[in-house]
């Protein structure tokens, strides 16, 4: 046995001894999911927030007690799925009823509770820890159900307060949405669900562009988004504070893409997450907020620049600190010069307990020294402490900002984490984005080989610019024309590759290009014929991830995302987009179609498929769901007859994902090249 293994075993024995000495405290810790070896104390934290007064009088004890308790587990039922109501019914009538009057180790199991402020009872929380879930067969079944439904996208594990920002965006299916700091993706998933509120429309006009600066976290984001099988999501990898302006083609002319909704959930110190990230207790210091303030302000500023007039941006953090919250919003409002206003959302999400934003706060240095105004900052600290960190002194300006319209979630009010939210409305372009009038210049005066231009500047200075020779002009013009022709040719071929290394230096994996299928691509004709696709099928939105060689997968994006891809391939680093709709299967070539339906694309393709679909009864559906690769003889005689009547169909798809529809009969699309031969 190695030294590390011996140390681990010794530590485990010591913990067990401590548990037995405390008279059964180990079991109680299991119920609480507790961390007995960690001291949840931070004197500076308590001193700081007591002084700021963000907690109402008489509630400080409850506030600190809540922070020391473990956070309840919360889950959200995927809202846009047609069977969300069935999942909810199954939870309430089957699994929750089994938990009634259930006792484990002499303690009554606490029933899961719905979040009162979340619409349609689609979000729930429970205090059951993993240790307790494993102690009872009924709880184990409940746990397995949650895991399986999470894997297939019907349920998402998400902290309660994290669900608030997407709800306050008021998303409609036609909205163009930017999620600036999206990883790990739980809020992005909510946004996608809202886009697909109408399940009868497989291609809503809106889309979500989900961005994150961390290349590795982008792939976690892709994993979250793929569970929802949407053709309207694109994952990109950029620094949110300098995310590029994108262009789209509108009736043959290029226009800047402005977003209808922006989610700006910025990186923060995270002291509102103490209940689940217990390391914050020992690592917390005011320095974290001071270092992040500038980045948060830059990201929020970039967000409002890209917001459409009349659009809505939600700024949020999982921090309680006004330096990261009200200070950022106040600075943004001040420099917007009336272009932005805080929305009053006090009537939205009824049942959610919240505290209004504050208008007065102070800055504390790492050593505990308080600063009330910018003039109090020592000269040697003025690079770390910025004027934007302090509250506005002008009472008239402060009143016009309506900072009380921001709100803060305190952990002890509804047994949640801490959180801050501000909803901004853009009324007009930002002052620095308004087009400035052209400066009138005098006619250039030729002086030898140089050109002297008198500019209308305040100091009357002259700018001397060398005039390029005719040959240089011609050469630069040719280069520009060559670059433009290359870009246009790439667009015509439908190739959206990664940006050139000179234009964008980003770390991470090199992504394959996104290549749209040409209109006359022979690959599509057999697919169209085999599945009898409707003439309205948007084949121009099909793409592959390979420019040369055999195409193995076909993906689909919405028309709007196609527009974004084709016009911005050199500006963006796209990690992933689209939904897989067909996969190559060499066995299918003998039946006239080399591509089978992909599980992820069933809901997208189903409205366009007119052949290779049979209706089956519920008993056949149960066979598909419970048996692996069942032979045709296992199904009802009616189903067997329908399958055998199909021309050129010698193979039956037993993928349960292909079962769609409602009622007593269910539709099953059939694909070529599956493994189960009809016998």
Catalytic center residues? 318
Beta bridge partners of 315: 264, 422
DSSP-assigned states of every residue in 209-268 = EEE-S-HHHHHHHHHHHHTT--TTEEEE---GGGPPPPEEEETTEEEE--EEEEEEE---
Crossing angle of helices 326-336 and 286-305, in 10° steps, is 30
Among residues 362, 403, 360, the alpha carbon closest in space to that of 385 is found at 362
Phi, psi of 496 (to 5 degrees): -120, 85
| Parallel, antiparallel or unpaired: strands 155-157 and 123-126 | unpaired
Among 508, 533, 649, smallest CA distance to 601 is for 533
424, with CB counted inside 10 A (0-12, 13-18, 19+), is buried
State the DSSP string of 637-655.
HHHHHHHHTSTT--EE---
Nearest to 325 by CA among 337, 313, 316: 316
The two beta strands, 123-126 and 73-77, are antiparallel
Nearest CA among 145, 150, 113 for reference residue 128 = 113
Q: Which contacts qualify for 367-373: CB closer than 8 Å, 24 or more apart?
A: 368/44, 368/47, 370/51
Long-range contacts of 8-17 (CB under 8 A, 24+ apart): none
Distance CA 197, CA 191 (A): 10
From the number of C-beta atoms within 10 Å of its C-beta (0-12, 13-18, 19+), residue 656 rates as middle
Residue 364 CA neighbour count, 13 Å, CB half: 20
Contact between 622 and 639 under an 8 Å Cβ cutoff? The reply is no
Contact assessment for residue 318 and residue 275, using Cβ atoms and an 8 Å cutoff: no
State phi, psi for 529 to the nearest 5 degrees: -70, -45
């Amino acid at each position: 046995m190695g030294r590390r293994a011996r140390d681990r075993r010794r530590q485990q024995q010591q913990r067990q001894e401590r548990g037995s000495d405390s008279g059964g405290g180990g079991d109680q810790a299991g119920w609480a999911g507790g961390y007995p070896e960690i001291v949840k104390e931070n004197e500076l934290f308590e001193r700081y927030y007591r002084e700021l007064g963000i907690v109402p009088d008489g509630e400080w004890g409850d506030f600190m007690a809540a922070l020391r308790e473990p956070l309840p587990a919360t889950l959200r039922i995927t809202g846009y799925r047609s069977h969300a109501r069935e999942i909810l019914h199954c939870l309430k009538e089957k699994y929750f009823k089994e938990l009634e009057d259930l006792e484990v180790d002499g303690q009554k199991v606490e029933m899961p509770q719905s979040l009162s402020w979340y619409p349609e009872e689609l979000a729930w929380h429970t205090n059951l820890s993993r240790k307790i879930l494993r102690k009872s067969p009924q709880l184990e079944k409940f746990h397995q159900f949650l895991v399986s439904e999470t894997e297939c996208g019907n349920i998402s594990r998400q902290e309660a307060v994290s669900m608030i920002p997407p709800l306050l965006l008021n998303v409609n299916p036609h909205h163009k949405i930017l999620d600036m700091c999206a990883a790990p993706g739980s809020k992005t998933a909510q946004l996608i669900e809202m886009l697909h509120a109408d399940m009868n429309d497989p291609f809503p006009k809106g889309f979500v562009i989900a961005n994150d600066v961390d290349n590795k976290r982008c792939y976690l984001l892709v994993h979250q988004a793929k569970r929802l099988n949407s053709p309207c999501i694109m994952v990109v990898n950029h620094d949110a504070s300098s995310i590029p302006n994108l262009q789209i083609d509108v009736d043959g002319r290029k226009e800047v893409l402005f977003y209808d909704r922006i989610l700006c959930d910025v990186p923060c110190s995270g002291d509102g997450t103490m209940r689940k990230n217990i390391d914050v207790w020992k690592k917390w210091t005011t320095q974290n907020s001071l270092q992040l303030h500038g980045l948060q302000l830059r990201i929020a500023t970039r967000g409002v620049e890209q917001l459409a007039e009349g659009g809505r941006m939600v700024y949020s953090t999982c921090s309680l600190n006004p330096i990261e919250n009200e200070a950022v919003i106040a600075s943004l409002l001040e420099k917007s010069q009336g272009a932005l206003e805080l929305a009053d959302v006090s009537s939205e999400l009824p049942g959610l307990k919240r505290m209004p934003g504050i208008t007065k706060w102070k800055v504390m240095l790492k050593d505990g020294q308080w600063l009330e105004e910018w003039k109090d900052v020592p000269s040697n600290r003025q690079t770390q402490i910025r004027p934007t960190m302090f509250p506005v002194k002008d009472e008239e300006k402060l009143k016009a900002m309506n900072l009380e319209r921001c709100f803060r979630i305190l952990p002890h009010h509804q047994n949640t984490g801490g959180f801050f939210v501000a909803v901004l409305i853009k009324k007009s372009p930002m002052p620095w984005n308004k087009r400035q009038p052209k400066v009138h210049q005098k006619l250039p005066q030729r002086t030898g080989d140089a050109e002297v231009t008198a500019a209308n500047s305040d100091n009357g200075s002259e700018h001397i610019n060398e005039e390029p020779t005719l040959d240089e002009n011609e050469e630069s013009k040719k280069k520009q024309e060559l670059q433009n022709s290359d870009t246009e040719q790439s667009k015509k071929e439908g190739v959206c590759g990664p940006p050139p290394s000179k234009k964008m230096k980003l770390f991470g994996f090199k992504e394959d290009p996104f290549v749209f299928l040409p209109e006359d691509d022979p690959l599509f004709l057999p697919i169209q014929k085999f599945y009898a696709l409707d003439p309205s099928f948007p084949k121009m939105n099909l793409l592959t991830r390979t420019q040369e060689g055999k195409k193995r997968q076909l993906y689909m994006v919405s028309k709007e995302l196609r527009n974004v891809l084709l016009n911005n391939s050199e500006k963006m680093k796209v990690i992933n987009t689209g939904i897989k709709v067909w996969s190559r299967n060499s066995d299918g070539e003998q039946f006239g179609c080399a591509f089978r339906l992909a599980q992820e694309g069933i809901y997208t393709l189903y409205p366009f498929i007119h052949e290779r679909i049979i209706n089956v009864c519920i008993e056949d559906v149960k066979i598909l769901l419970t048996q692996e690769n069942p032979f045709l003889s296992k199904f009802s005689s009616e189903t067997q007859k329908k399958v055998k009547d199909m021309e050129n169909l010698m193979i039956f798809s037993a993928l349960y994902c292909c079962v769609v529809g409602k009622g007593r009969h269910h539709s099953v699309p059939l694909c070529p090249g599956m493994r189960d031969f009809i016998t």
